[in-house]
Amino acid sequence: MSVAHAPAARLSLWPAAAGRVLAGAALLGAVALLPWLTGADPARTVLRARSADQNPTAAELAAVREQLGLDEGPLAHLAHWLGGLPRGDAGVSWVSGEPVMPQVGAALSVSLTLMLGALVVTALVTALVCARTVFLGSRRRLRQDRTGTTAAMLAALPKFLLASVLATVCGVWWRWFPSSGWEGPQSMVLPSLALGIPSGAMLGGLLDQALPAAFHEPWARTAYAVGLPPGSIARNALRRTLPGMLPQLLPTVVALVGGAVAVEKIFNIPGLGRLALEAAVAQDLPVLQTATLALVLLGVGAGVLIRALRHALLGRPLRDGALPTLHRPPLVPPRSLRWITAACSVVLIALVTAGLLRDPLQVDTAARLVAPSLEHPLGTDALGRDLLARLGHGALRTAGVALAVTVVSAVTGLLLGMAPRASAGPTEVVSTLPAVLSGLLIAGVTGPSVWGAACAVCVVGWSPYAAQTAALLEQERASGHIAASVALGAGRLHLLRRHLLPAVLPALLRNALLRLPTAVLVLASLGFLGLGEQPPTPEWGRLLSENQPYAELAPWTVLGPAAALVVLSVLAVTGSALGREKGE
């Protein structure tokens, strides 16, 4: 049977391969147009990056245009760059004049090392989040559901804020590890923690919600009845649930290669994300194109590897269409669920109401960086503005834009994930790209605005949901009850409405709620670079970005917005769990 199906299997690989090629080509083409899309003079931008000359003469600009061949247009540059790649020649930097390939190679090696360190921390945190469920489930003692607050709190921690705290406390005060630079294995400890803790919490929350269904399967009950050790039951349950979570490694951990820009800046790490951002800002096209190509190849390679690992874990039942469906058992909701939801709601409503009664734009230079007091309950920022007022006035805008971005990204990912052969390539390509690059491309067309930044996040934000949808649908289609429904005459619409969507939507919703704070922070990073929400508009992510340099001197400037973000994340997760409880 395997021989008969081999040609069909080879044919099924073509849509994914074509999708990878087309998505990579489209991205490289868009990057090649960046200097012409922005509307700014590329010669002026490059000259300013070279010498910080704010007012270059016409002769200097003409010399730069002639030197770089800007008058030839983007297609000529792209063709020349592609022609040199087979010889290992990616050109020279427009800013420094040095060969590009050694720069990108060195930055990529640093980022891959950092990614591996973050992956280790991610695995450890994921294991800690799931430890209770694994222990109780393998012993048939899992009776009570989890609120998910721990995972939500850790997942909502801003990576750049966590990096600043770790650098200050563990690097400067206690001198345990280097707080800056990239000199040896010790230099990767703190940045790996800053990147891995939120990522591990997110993946751990998803896995923790999937494990009870695996422990509820008939094989688990039989294994326990015949006396198999708990360790063996736990391993088989993890083997059953990990394939559904593995695709999240691509946009969550592998994407750190290009998306860890803030952490790389804080720890002064010469990584690929930082190099790509600096090249994009300076419009250093050869460096940016080569860095983008490296990210594309990394995403495709990691996607193929993860897919092969998934198929190896699921094994023959996936190939033969004999995979049992995971059904989450009815668990007793924890008593604290309602209390936590109510407490988070009261805290947010109180903060927003109190903040709306104050002026968020009033500047008092005599009250700069004032500690919390009765007059200023959350303190003031570097300009003397009341942080409670800015937090309250920015709440609706922050939550509204982030929720809209999350909904659009999730729906887009769901629709694309339902066509996995066509969307596999674009998903792998987009997964590793930093949102900053998308923001620069969109801002070049629409100009900087909050909705332009929201579109930029949506352009790259759908990939986690598409990867998750494709993985869960593949497993669901390989289940026996789908084959039975088809044999009984069920049509595609019936299968979609009664079997496929119910198997995907709960996990997709959980993923979206855990990623809601991430949308806030990505929007903030774009606004901080001048591509999104413009000051002095109050917005939670912007409050974190603006006050991050003062975190050591005045920690209250970031604690308020960070705490509000954590409370919002916990409220989203517990509110969803409460809704699921009522639905059951």
CATH assignment of the domain containing 411: 1.10.3720.10
Nearest by Cα to 560 from 405, 358, 351: 351
- Is 77 part of any domain? no
H or E stretch covering 500: none
Nearest by Cα to 515 from 251, 298, 132, 124: 251
Which residues face 425 on adjacent strands?
Answer: none
Backbone angles phi, psi at 20, to 5 degrees: -65, -45
- Is 320 part of any domain? no
Domain boundary among 284, 314, 344: 314
Name the amino acid, one letter, at 201.
Answer: A
For the chain, what is the domain count? 2
- Is 395 part of any domain? yes
Compute the distance between CA of residue 574 and CA of residue 98 in angstroms, rounded to an integer. 53
- Is 37 part of any domain? no
Domain boundary among 314, 344, 364: 314
pLDDT at 52: 66
Q: How many other C-beta atoms are found inside a 10 Å radius of the C-beta of residue 500?
A: 19
Residues 358 and 249 in one domain: no
Residues 118 and 229 in one domain: yes
pLDDT at 582: 55
Domain boundary among 260, 285, 314: 314
pLDDT at 486: 74
Compute the distance between CA of residue 53 and CA of residue 556 in angstroms, rounded to an integer. 38
Residues 304 and 388 in one domain: no
Name the amino acid, one letter, at 484.
Answer: A
Residues 394 and 532 in one domain: yes
Compute the distance between CA of residue 179 and CA of residue 187 in angstroms, rounded to an integer. 7
Residues 425 and 507 in one domain: yes
Residues 299 and 420 in one domain: no
pLDDT at 407: 93
Which domain range does residue 424 map to?
A: 335-581
Compute the distance between CA of residue 340 and CA of residue 571 in angstroms, rounded to an integer. 8
Which residues face 99 on adjacent strands?
Answer: 92
What are the pLDDT tens digits along the chain (584 aa)? 343 444 434 435 677 777 788 888 888 888 887 777 766 677 777 777 777 656 777 777 788 777 877 777 778 888 888 888 888 888 888 888 889 999 999 999 999 999 999 999 999 999 999 999 999 999 988 888 887 888 888 888 888 788 888 888 888 888 889 888 888 788 889 999 999 999 999 999 989 988 998 898 888 888 888 888 999 999 999 998 998 888 888 888 887 887 677 788 888 898 888 888 888 878 788 888 898 888 888 888 888 898 889 888 887 777 767 677 777 788 887 888 889 889 989 998 998 899 998 888 888 888 888 889 888 899 998 888 999 999 898 888 888 888 899 999 999 999 998 888 888 888 888 887 777 777 777 776 776 777 888 888 888 889 999 998 988 888 888 777 777 777 777 777 877 777 788 888 888 988 888 888 888 878 777 776 667 666 777 878 778 878 878 887 888 888 888 888 888 888 888 877 766 655 55
Residues 399 and 535 in one domain: yes
Residues 365 and 476 in one domain: yes
Compute the distance between CA of residue 252 and CA of residue 431 in angstroms, rounded to an integer. 8
- Is 34 part of any domain? no
CA atoms within 13 A on the CB side of 332: 7
- Which three-class secondary structure state does DSSP give residue 255? coil
pLDDT at 104: 92
Residues 292 and 368 in one domain: no
Contact of 401 with 454, CB cutoff 8 Å: yes
pLDDT at 125: 96
Which residues face 92 on adjacent strands?
Answer: 99
pLDDT at 454: 85
- Is 345 part of any domain? yes
pLDDT at 444: 65
Residues 152 and 228 in one domain: yes
Residues 350 and 246 in one domain: no
- Is 326 part of any domain? no
Contacts of 138 (CB under 8 A, 6+ apart): 215, 230, 231, 233, 234, 237
Residues 539 and 450 in one domain: yes
- Is 231 part of any domain? yes
Compute the distance between CA of residue 415 and CA of residue 44 in angstroms, rounded to an integer. 42
pLDDT at 9: 41
Contact of 380 with 370, CB cutoff 8 Å: yes
